[in-house]
Amino acid sequence: MMKSTGVVRKVDELGRIVLPIELRRNLDIEIKDPVEIYVDGDMIILKKYQASCLFCGNAKDNVIYKNKHICPNCLEELKKQ
Ligand SMILES: [Zn+2]
């Protein structure tokens, strides 16, 4: 469900918007974290970016191995081989 935070921010000369600190804390977004931009009609949606598993596309609890994201399931399968 989409809900308004009640926060209104102005876009600056370079097109930047500051994400309120409370929001960043709540969503665990740290400085330099990647944020993915979605568009839905006239809405711009920001989502904390989580790279998906190289093999199955899962985006949860992935580990990084040699710069590739792998989910725990696929990692287990690889270990068995
Ligand atoms: Zn996987």
Ligand 1 midpoint to CA 50 (Å): 13
Residue 70 CA to ligand 1 center (angstroms) comes to 5
Measured distance CA(47)–CA(27) in Å, rounded: 9
pLDDT over 90 (residue 3): no
Q: Of the ranges 16-25, 30-39, 57-66, 68-77, which one carries the lowest mean pLDDT score?
A: 57-66
The alpha carbon of 79 and the centre of ligand 1 are apart by a number of angstroms equal to 13
> Is pLDDT above 80 for 41?
yes
Q: pLDDT at residue 12 above 90?
A: yes
Mean pLDDT of the chain: 90
C-alpha of residue 52 to centroid of ligand 1, in Å: 8
Q: What spacing in Å lies between the alpha carbon of 68 and ligand 1's midpoint?
A: 11
Residue 50: which of 38, 66, 40, 61 has the closest Cα?
61
Distance in Å, CA 67 to ligand 1 centroid: 15
